[in-house]
Each structure stands twice: as structure tokens, then as C-alpha cells.
Amino acid sequence: MRHVAALAGVGVKTVSRVINGEPNVSPATTAKVLAAARSLDYEPDLHAGNLRRSDGRSRTLGLLVGSVDNPFAGAVHRAVEDVALGRGVAVFASSLDDDPAREQAAVSAFLRRRVDGLILTTVSESQSYLAPELRRGTPVVFVDREPAGVTSDTVVSDNRDGAAMATRHLLERGHRRFAYFGDRSTIRTAQERRRGFLDELGSAGVATRDIPVVEDLHDEAAAQRAAIELFTRPDPPTAIFSSQNLVTIGVIRALRELGRHRDTALVGFDDVPLADLLEPGITVVAQNPQEIGRIAAERVFARLDGDDSPAGRSVVRTRLIARGSGEITPRHEG
Amino acid sequence: MRHVAALAGVGVKTVSRVINGEPNVSPATTAKVLAAARSLDYEPDLHAGNLRRSDGRSRTLGLLVGSVDNPFAGAVHRAVEDVALGRGVAVFASSLDDDPAREQAAVSAFLRRRVDGLILTTVSESQSYLAPELRRGTPVVFVDREPAGVTSDTVVSDNRDGAAMATRHLLERGHRRFAYFGDRSTIRTAQERRRGFLDELGSAGVATRDIPVVEDLHDEAAAQRAAIELFTRPDPPTAIFSSQNLVTIGVIRALRELGRHRDTALVGFDDVPLADLLEPGITVVAQNPQEIGRIAAERVFARLDGDDSPAGRSVVRTRLIARGSGEITPRHEG
DNA sequence: GTGAAAGCGCTAACAT
DNA sequence: ATGTTAGCGCTTTCAC
């Protein structure tokens, strides 16, 4: 900046004024400064400015998702980016991998870089470590999973209702023998989905005591193995509810392998790519990651704009998409 | 930091030493400083340090991909993150959307934030605007698409060879009536794939003059429409090569709709999620986005570590995955 | 309409 | 083993 000022024959403050579009600079001076900046390939240093700037904003956001390599996270990320772009804010994205250590490391990395706000998917038992930062006024929005130990804005899917809706869908087709496949039972979201499933069966008068509830399946292969194992036992279920993306895919692979995909009903929570092109198409309770990301980003910016209303909880509705697998009726036993 | 120093009863420089793990601090002092930092919830300001730090590194990378909401980009991003994480480097990710204005805006946003390196997928006609930055020594690695107007490290798939391999695969099954569906013809990568396809047909003695080459299909719907249109004309092809992810999916939808998916061969460039679960499974020339991302990130860090060898071009091999659709033999005409 | 001086939080260089 | 001073590139404040 000093070089630009020297080349343009003005003071540094004048350069600063031109760069930031502040008033009280004559057009002639402006032109000189711009020309000098161009010829020196000058790019202002945003961080240096921040150090002294009154609002202290880095125009930067930290986003922590399950994994950036994952359709749900990608959609959330994209929605956040779209909102941030309009504000001239850049987004740091990191992957959680359901690892509490990574959660803390990522948050710390964001904070050291003085992000203006945080959008977080969490996995550790408590987010109370964020309390000082919240007190300092940094906006934090939790997405997909609710926080514990602190209160802050949260955006989640209606996990329980969505799971209940899926279950009702299967009950209405006459199923009475169910199985549940879910991911890590420590994850709140997973608990909610299981609860929605079991409660709905309970209300329908189905004895939930004997229903196989297989949990802690965190990848396709584990889900596939678990499903195959279940189907080699007597009286396999006629209907399956799978509580997550990868689990659903693992179950599909298992049913194919067993030749059971046309006579076993399946509804998955969370949409699966190309689910409509499979045979049968996969019926799912689809989340709305775009909406989750958009709302989360808008909450952050509202807070930055001074909104100091109490922390809120936004619930983004899920939607049942019937494609075939959920409409299979119970087979008659041999 | 001043507050921490005051609370610990030491000078700021000692705090700096402790925070950065520099030597020559007594254990007792270290403990005092750490305690003070903890009690004040102190997080060092990385940017402020950078301003003065001799290496001037922000420990930050800028990554520009097609769209963060896209499986290929997600895999690249994840690989870059994994390499960067080991170095304590955070990643800014942005979406290009094949929009030249976005490309420039994203690069400028990265530069203003003083990223240590750039990993870019580009779409504008020339990247000569990066020349000053390259001269300044900022490492830039181009991924997926080669740059124009500047020379710098590049990591790409073997587009031409991959396309040729796909074509050979179809030729070997006896096909002689082909069609090509591709995305924007202005994209170098797309040109290479088309070229690989046509050259291979030429070498096999197939007249390429009459082959339908449908291009500029940038989404599923456009590809689907184009394929349906082609199949309503006389003498439809018996084999299709589609040059991109979304185009492949559009073509699959079209073939389904036409009831042609079991008698028309299809090989797509770039893998498709769940392609193995479709019927028939989709044969593809799979890229290796993880490898592309990993190599790109390693190139950046090698440059930062002082590697000043001439700009290199890494070619990541594609792999043909036969799943059914590419093994369909030509139907006999009625 | 413009510039000079001070200072943001930190680290380099040189004390001590 | 620790402290002091200067200065990174910018914006603030205030003077002209």
C-alpha cells in the first residue's frame, strides 16, 4: 500500500480511502491511485485491515460438516456458500468424521483465524467449550445435530416425525414384522430417529420388544453385514427402516445379495443418489440440506447484524418420497 | 496476549514463545502462561502473527472446484483437506459454476486473504491474470482442467486415453453405430474426451462423419432431452459414450424412458454414485478424484517447501469399470 | 479533500 | 531464560 501511495504521489490514507470506496476523494486522485494499484498488482490485505478495523470482521465463516465428501454435507455447504457469497464472506470448510478431537481442532483452527461465525455439526459429548466464545458474541449455529452444554441457534431436520412418517407408511401397507438399522447410537439425531420409529410402532400396537434394533453401523459394509446376518435367522422382517444414507445403501446391497429386494419393504432416512433409478426405486424420508444450510447461514448473518433475540431452533421438514421399495406389501410365509 | 502476559506476570514475548512452542522458557513460566491463557480463553490471532512472521504464511489454502455440491469435487476437496490438515492449514472452498466471473472473484477473494497457495478448477479463457501472483511465488496448481495463458503445475485425468479406452471397449463388443453426448464444448477437458472418442473410432475404420456428436449439455435434463430426441430418429445408435457425470445420468434416464436401457450399450466418463446397483450396472471410465486432490495439495506444499523445479503436469490414470451397460452387444435391426 | 501519527496483536532482532 | 523495541499493512483519529 505504501508503494501504491508513493507511485500515485499521495498519502497512504488516500489509497485506503480509494480502495474502500470512502467519500471525500477527488475523481482525479481516485484515478491516479487506481492506476498505481493496477500497475503494481496490488491486492489489499484483508487481515491487516481487520486488525484495526472497528467492526473487527474477517469476512470469513467456519463450516464443520460430517465430511465434505458426502452429498448431504455438500448440499449444506453449497447453500452456506451461496448466502455468504452475497456478503463477500469466504467459507472455511472442514470434515468432522464423527471424531470429537477433530471437532475441537477444527473449531480452534477457525477461532485462531478469527472467523466471524461458526456453523457446526458436532459429535463430542458437550459443546460447553464454546461458552467463552459465545459470551464474546461470536455467532454459532448448530446444524443437523443439537448441541449439549450450551445454548445457541440450531437448525435440524424433524428427525422424530420423519421417522414416524416412514414407519406409518410401512404400517399402512400391512407390515407387522420390522427391523431397524441405525448408525452410532450416541448421536442424538440417530436416537431421535429410532425413537420416532419405535414410538410409532408402539402407538400402532405392535410389540416393540422383539424388534431387531441394530445400531452403531457407521458405514455401508457394516450395514450390509448386519442385514445379511439378520436375514439368515428365522422369521426375517418384511419391512426395514434404515436411519441413514450409508446404512440404507448397505441394506440395499444386502437385499440384492439375498435376492430379497423385491419382497422386502425398505424406507430409508435421508435421500440416496439415483434412488429413483434403482429397481425397485428406494422410498426415503428426504431431508432438505439446502434449506438447512441456507437457514443456518442466514442466522449467522442476522446475529452479525445485531439480532440478539434468544437462541432459536429451526426445524426443517422432511418429505416422504415414495419410489417403490416402501410400497412393497408383506409376503405370505411359507 | 497483553492480558495473558499481565496475568502471568511475564512479558508478551514470553507468552509468544510459549504459544509457539519456542525453546528457552522454563517449565515453571510455561505453566504460568498456559494457566493464564486458559483462564482468559485466549486464542492466538494467526493473522496478526502473519503480518510480522518471517515466512509470511497464513496457513490457509484456496480451493476452487466445479461445485462443492458435486461428488467429484467433494472427493477432491476431501483429499486436499486431508493433506492440509497434517500441515495445520485450513482450506477455503468455493464453487466455480463454470462462470468466468466467479472464477476471478473467487481467486481475488483468496488473494485478499493471503492464502499460501491456490488449487483451481478454471473456466475462463485465459488465466493470464494470475501471472503477477505466480511471479510473486504463490504456488498455483490447476486441477481437472489445464490452464491457458500461464504455466503452472497441473493435475488432470488422462481424458483422451480414458475416452479412447471406453470407445475401444464398445468397438470390441462389435458396435459400429455410436453417439457422443458431451458437456460444454468450450471446456478443454470435454474437447479431449471427444477427441479420444473420435480418434479411436477413426483408427478402427469407423466413419466418424455421420456420428451424432451432441454437445453443450450441462445438466441431466438437457442430456435426457437430447438422448430422447436422438432415439426418435431413424437408425439410433447401438452404443453411447457420454463424457460426463450428469450427462451420463441424463442418458440413463432417457434410455429407461424409451425402454432401451437393456439393448443400448453405454459407457460414461466419470463414475456415477450407485452405478453398480442399477440394472444394468453402468460401465464407466472412472476418474480418481482423491488422487487428483492429494497430488495437487502435495504439489502446493512442495512448492511452499522450496521446490522450484519447472511446472509439471501430472496425469492421473482413469480406470474402466465394467458393470453391464458397456458390455451390451449390438442389437440386430428389424 | 488530504495527510500524519498512533495503534490493532503479534513476531523479529537484539538486548539483558 | 526473559524483556524491550520496532514494525508487519492497514484503519482510526484528528489535524490541516
The rounded distance, in Å, linking the Cα atoms of A3 and A183 is: 58
Kindly report which listed range (A84-88, A237-241, B75-79, B184-188) carries the lowest average pLDDT score. B184-188
Q: Residue A132 above 50 pLDDT? A: yes
Specify the pLDDT at position B124. 96
Taking CA atoms, A42 is separated from B52, B65, B117, B133, in Å, by 19, 25, 17, 10
Q: Residue A331 above 90 pLDDT? A: no
Flag whether residue B91 sits within 8 Å of chain A, measured between CB atoms.
yes
The rounded distance, in Å, linking the Cα atoms of B180 and B197 is: 8
The rounded distance, in Å, linking the Cα atoms of A100 and A156 is: 20
Digit-coded pLDDT (tens) for B53-63: 888 899 999 99
Q: At a CB cut-off of 8 Å and minimum separation 6, what does A38 contact?
A: none
In this complex, the residue of B47, B48, B273 whose CB is nearest that of residue A273 is: B273
In the three-class reduction of DSSP (H, G, I as helix; E, B as strand; rest coil), residue B138 is classed as coil
- Strand D contact residues in chain A (29-68), C-beta within 7 Å: 44-45, 48-49, 51-55
> From the CB of residue A29, how many other CB atoms can be counted at a distance below 10 Å?
16
| Residue A333 confidence class, pLDDT cut points 50, 70, 90 | low
Flag whether residue B256 sits within 8 Å of chain A, measured between CB atoms.
yes
Q: At a CB cut-off of 8 Å and minimum separation 6, what does A208 contact?
A: A198, A201, A202
Near-strand C residues (CB closer than 7 A)? A 9-14, 17, 23-26, 28-29, 48, 51-52; B 1-2, 12-13, 16, 19-20, 44-45, 48-49, 51-55
> From the CB of residue A136, how many other CB atoms can be counted at a distance below 10 Å?
10
Longest dimension (CA), chain A: 94
Give the chain B residue nearest A106 (alpha carbons). Answer: B90
Flag residues of chain B having pLDDT under 50. Answer: 334
Rg (alpha carbons) of chain A, rounded to whole number? 26
In this complex, the residue of A68, A92, A279 whose CB is nearest that of residue B92 is: A92
Q: At a CB cut-off of 8 Å and minimum separation 6, what does B88 contact?
A: A109, B59
E strands in A3-95? 60-65, 90-95
Chain A contacts of B20, Cβ < 8 Å? Answer: none
In this complex, the residue of A73, A90, A279 whose CB is nearest that of residue B92 is: A90
* Mean per-residue pLDDT of chain A: 95
- Quick one: angle between helices A188-203 and A159-172, nearest 10? 40
pLDDT top residue among B92 and A333: B92
Shortest CA distance to B197 belongs to which of B186, B184, B185, B182?
B182
Taking CA atoms, B191 is separated from A108, A151, B205, in Å, by 44, 53, 21
Flag whether residue B277 sits within 8 Å of chain A, measured between CB atoms.
yes
Q: Residue A83 above 70 pLDDT? A: yes
Flag whether residue B292 sits within 8 Å of chain A, measured between CB atoms.
no
Q: Is A60 close to B113, i.e. CB distance below 8 A?
A: yes
Specify the pLDDT at position B56. 87
Identify whether the C-beta of residue B296 lies closer than 8 Å to the C-beta of residue B119.
Answer: yes
In this complex, the residue of B47, B78, B81 whose CB is nearest that of residue A113 is: B47
Q: At a CB cut-off of 8 Å and minimum separation 6, what does A271 contact?
A: A71, A245, A284, A286, A287, A321
**Counting beta carbons within 10 angstroms of the beta carbon of residue B235, is it exposed (0 to 12), middle (13 to 18) or buried (19 or more)?**
exposed
* Residue range A238-243: mean pLDDT, rounded: 98
Specify the pLDDT at position B333. 62
The distance (Å) linking the CA of B119 with the C1' of D7 is 32
pTM, 2 dp: 0.95
Chain B contacts of A278, Cβ < 8 Å? Answer: 274, 277-278
Chain A contacts of B73, Cβ < 8 Å? Answer: 74
Query: Residue A302 is inside which H or E element, if any?
Result: helix A289-304
The rounded distance, in Å, linking the Cα atoms of A16 and A29 is: 12
Query: Residue B190 is inside which H or E element, if any?
Result: helix B188-203
Identify whether the C-beta of residue B81 lies closer than 8 Å to the C-beta of residue B91.
Answer: yes
DSSP B263-303: TSEEEEES--TTGGGSSSBPEEEE--HHHHHHHHHHHHHHH
Q: What is the DSSP letter of B97?
A: T
Nucleic acid strand C: bases within 7 A of protein CB = 1-13
Can you say whether residue A108 is alpha, beta or left, with left for phi > 0 and alpha for psi between -120 and 50 degrees?
Answer: alpha
Specify the pLDDT at position A334. 43
The distance (Å) linking the CA of A131 with the C1' of C11 is 30
Edge to edge, what strands does the sheet with B90-95 contain?
A313-316, A153-157, A140-143, A117-120, A60-65, A90-95, B90-95, B60-65, B117-120, B140-143, B153-157, B313-316
Taking CA atoms, A14 is separated from A1, A32, A300, in Å, by 10, 11, 33
The rounded distance, in Å, linking the Cα atoms of B305 and B196 is: 37
Identify whether the C-beta of residue B124 lies closer than 8 Å to the C-beta of residue B149.
Answer: no
Chain B contacts of A94, Cβ < 8 Å? Answer: 81, 85, 90-91
* Residue range A33-55: mean pLDDT, rounded: 91
> From the CB of residue A298, how many other CB atoms can be counted at a distance below 10 Å?
16
**Counting beta carbons within 10 angstroms of the beta carbon of residue B14, is it exposed (0 to 12), middle (13 to 18) or buried (19 or more)?**
buried
Taking CA atoms, A91 is separated from A85, A137, B3, B106, B307, in Å, by 9, 19, 30, 11, 29
Specify the pLDDT at position B334. 43
